[in-house]
Structure 1
């Protein structure tokens, strides 16, 4: 049996991200690293920016222009009394020709004030807050009821639901997925020991557990993926750091829970899922999201893994040039970036993403697919964001049963739940039609969307996911 990681602890409330921030006592400017300390709750509270756009207090992401001297960098940082706590230069960045990478800079100034002092400088490519992201799920009663996977049903399945993903009809035609198709889950981690998921999780053949970075991708013993939040190889913490990884496990179950006669089943009965965990106990940062996106880009490029898509059921940050660059690198590697459209504001009513952008789903890159949520009656879920030009299609997102931590099952609602139905459909298509490009898969999913009254004029396609119909494209 494959080795696993598992721990047991009580279930917490997931409210924000494991962040690092340092308040500087002096005004010294330095390009040397400083030691990180955990962000306090008061610092996190100070990090509130515009509504729905939280970021790490006293921290910026800074990219200097190519060829800028060390003296010029130091002078620029002196304007905000900034110190570099981390330099991010991923393998994917290097392969794309990057030499400088991205700097995480701590400053005694509030982020927006520091950004205003940095932006426009002749040495600065961009300076932006290190945004905090959250998953886009809302919890229903946490119980599992047999025969309630409406999101997998189709018109002709038994039981039937025309507003389901139509995955059941694809299975009837012997399209059940393949373990030669890989999907990256950028989210919390997921319980890779769950009896519904253990056969479909990745065991890295390129880096055996021996304390050495055998494939030289920068991550030692990344046997199941990587935890960018804690910077270790334990993708399922099982509560040891205050997060049960319920959300990531739920997403994984919708994409690829096994057909084993018990519990639930995913859109794919067979698929290989890799964890790029960046959401921790209090959310996740732009800096760690970038590392996760680039991790999958590098895996595909380095090893030739057939990574067809990443699932991104998270949001809440503002527009980030640094994250946009990472998504563009994934696009160049032919990896779809499938993203939740968002769950609206505090009033529980979905927002129009055409009017107020929701990131990362609003990034205008060819590999991005933005997903809204619908109910079992075909209505747009009340909480779901929408956008006639920015949200591509809808998928089942209300009352979705799937796997959760500690070998359990739960019902959740959110665009977080709609997104893995689309990711699963992308993987199902890739298994049925090997060698398909990201553009071909996206076109098949969007062109086969079923016209739906609640989505007319509210999404690009005006329709909902049809995983089976896409296979005929």
Structure 2
């Protein structure tokens, strides 16, 4: 009896000191939540049955099955600790030979689908061509490859994403488990226990109302938070991009969704001070502010990523700045929005010099107030996808600088033809590529050189007519590559398009909006077809082509 009691005391000490330890042996691998398999040493099974019972009581464990072929092996369900804590606890106990998660296996190594009941509506994470909330059918794989990324990691609890927004409903059933809680503050004792200047800041701080309750009273911040880190595999609602990280609530926007510069800067300062590695900023407004620029730069100096929405005005941020996403600071990641067809969302801002990446942001399902779920659209919805991917990457490579994180996202994006003149990354974020540092091959051929110019005149009517669908073909016998020069180009941005295809019908370039004279991307083969399509609304100048060039080199 005395020996059994010693085991119990040891268990209490071990559990208290290792509750937040990280289990690396199953990092990023799928397993059944709330269940583990424990193999007890044979001598412990025979000599100390009471100690084993006490051990189970501490973790709220219930034996689901005992295996006859492996004496001492038991399949147990736990209720007082998560899988990570329980494994640390059992593995450190002298009665236990080993403890493992209840791993999930699949045919041919295909990643399993989460059991969150609304996951099939989260096209941004796993696009099978399903319809979005408006009924628009998607395109298979027009997503961020979340399933594949989760095979690498679902996120580390030590990585904190601060949601600088309208707050977070930290009581939401799909969020509460992943909320950051200030470990050095005692709730409701009206003292600043950690000496950070904020009394009882348990979940974060409310800079809008100057109090310690950052609970969302609008819904926007909760929607953003669910996209970043809604709890996964809990048989409830949705799953976030990084369901293993934690969310810090930093509220500076009021219930109407507006806030002040002074409070925004205070929010950034607080989040950095309290250890956030990623700041999600799904908001914008105002002009250039040196105060804001200094706050973002200070975050950069502390190795903190600043993900920011590019804006919802269908404008070019290269010429019309949008803040805070347009600050030229190396930790800023400006995010445009895509739809479920891998197209730039019609409302999304863009900028081939200023908008770094694109991510799903059109009709995105996520958590809202009162334990409910709704679909929202905006670059506000695209930004948390990027914040989540950044958090996954920092879970695996915590020593990366913000600029290195941004470069990784840009270089590993899936190339999309229509983005090559719109976004620095020329494509949409791919979480799996980010984690594996895979740079997809570019579709544009390398420049072969040896170009010869040919004068060639081709124009649309000026102004072009509505509801136009017209094609023209350029052919040069013996050419291996072509490119076309547009002397003037002006179409209704986002609605009237010019597309160029090669001799096999593969898309080589796509343009819209107003552009100065330019060459198309290189076109394979001896034939190029120019397709022009306009809608029934605004009609503009159209285009003038004055020449093309060809090469006969391989």
**SS of the residue aligned with 2:124?**
helix
RMSD: 1.9
CA distance in 2 between counterparts of 1:382 and 1:225 reads 35
Identify if the C-alpha distance between structure 1 residues 299 and 146 changes in structure 2 by more than 3 Å, giving closer, same or farther. Answer: closer
User: Would you say 1:273 and 2:247 are equivalent positions?
Assistant: yes
Extract structure 1 runs of 4+ deviating beyond 3 A: 154-157
Which one has a bigger Cα radius of gyration? 2
Is 2:118–2:238's contact at 8 Å kept on the other side of the alignment? no
1:365 counterpart = 2:329: yes
Q: CA deviation at 1:264?
A: 0.5
In 2, Cα distance between equivalents of 1:431 and 1:331 = 18
Deviations, residues 148-186 of structure 1 (Å, cap 9, x unaligned): 1011126899x9832211112112x24211211111110
Quick check: 1:236–1:245 contact (8 Å CA) kept in 2?
Answer: no
Measure how far apart 1:277 and its partner are.
0.5
Match of 2:267 in 1: 292
Which residue does 1:458 correspond to in 2?
422
Q: Which has the higher contact order (CA 8 A, sep 6+)?
A: 1
- Residues 100-157 of structure 1, C-alpha deviation per residue, up to 9 Å, x if partnerless? xxxxxxxxxxxxxxxxxxxxxxxxxxxxxxxxxxxxxxxxxxxx96621011126899
- Name the counterpart of 1:378: 342
Structure 2 partner of 1:263: 237
Q: Is the Cα contact below 8 Å between 2:152 and 2:435 reproduced in 1? A: no
> Counterpart of 1:147?
120
Counterpart for residue 355 of structure 1: 319
- Equivalent pair of 1:253/1:266 in contact (CA under 8 Å): yes
Equivalent residue in structure 1 for 2:366, among 396, 402, 405: 402
Q: TM-score, normalised by structure 1?
A: 0.64
Query: Which consecutive unaligned segments of at least 5 residues does structure 2 have?
Result: 1-116, 131-137, 438-554
Partner of 2:219: 246
Distance verdict in 2 for CA 1:145–1:426, change over 3 Å: closer
8 Å Cα contact 1:153/1:160 also seen in 2: no
Residue 440 (structure 1) shift:
2.4
User: Which residue number in structure 2 is paired with residue 167 of structure 1?
Assistant: 146
Q: SS at the partner of 2:277?
A: strand
5+ residue gaps, structure 1, are 1-143, 238-243, 301-306, 345-349
In structure 1, C-alpha distance between the alignment counterparts of 2:239 and 2:139, rounded to whole Å: 16
Aligned residues: 311
Closer/same/farther in 2, CA of residues 191 and 362 from structure 1, 3 Å limit: same
State whether structure 2 residue 395 is matched by structure 1 residue 420: no
Q: Which residue, out of 303, 308, 313, partners 1:339?
A: 308
Q: What pairs up with 1:121-160 in 2 under 5 angstroms?
A: 147-153=120-126
Secondary structure at the counterpart of residue 409 of structure 1: strand
Maintained 8 Å contact 2:190/2:200: yes
